[in-house]
């Protein structure tokens, strides 16, 4: 999964910041609890990734320490964010 995430980041100049890399999310998750990644995929392809912190009452918030945040995707799909969060 991290390979697919890295490929999307490397192929899209909009995600040039290291804050969009999977390694950043892994580093944050190693010191901050309740970090999750919502994923949209088909049977054979990962399409989008959205890292977030799951807070009290089930509220999703952006990762701490990040100036940038958002859904990492190839731009070639119809995003279904509520469905991503349920998966």
Q: What is the pTM of this model?
A: 0.81
**Confidence at 79, pLDDT banded by 50, 70, 90:** low
Q: How many domains does the chain fold into? A: 1
37 pLDDT more than 70: yes
State the residue range of the domain holding 62: 2-86
Q: Which residues contact 63 (CB under 8 A, 6 or more apart)?
A: 24, 25, 28, 32, 35, 51, 52, 53, 69
Instruction: For residue range 46-73, list pLDDT tens digits in order.
Output: 989 999 999 999 888 888 766 677 889 8
């Amino acid at each position: 999964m991290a390979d697919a995430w890295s490929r999307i980041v490397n192929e899209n100049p909009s995600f040039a910041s290291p804050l969009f890399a999977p390694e950043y999310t892994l580093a944050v998750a190693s010191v901050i609890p309740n970090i999750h990644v919502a994923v949209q995929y088909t049977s054979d392809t990962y399409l989008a990734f959205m890292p977030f912190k799951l807070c009290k009452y089930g509220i999703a918030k952006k990762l701490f320490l990040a100036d940038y945040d958002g859904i990492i995707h190839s731009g070639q799909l119809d995003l279904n964010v509520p469905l991503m969060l349920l998966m």
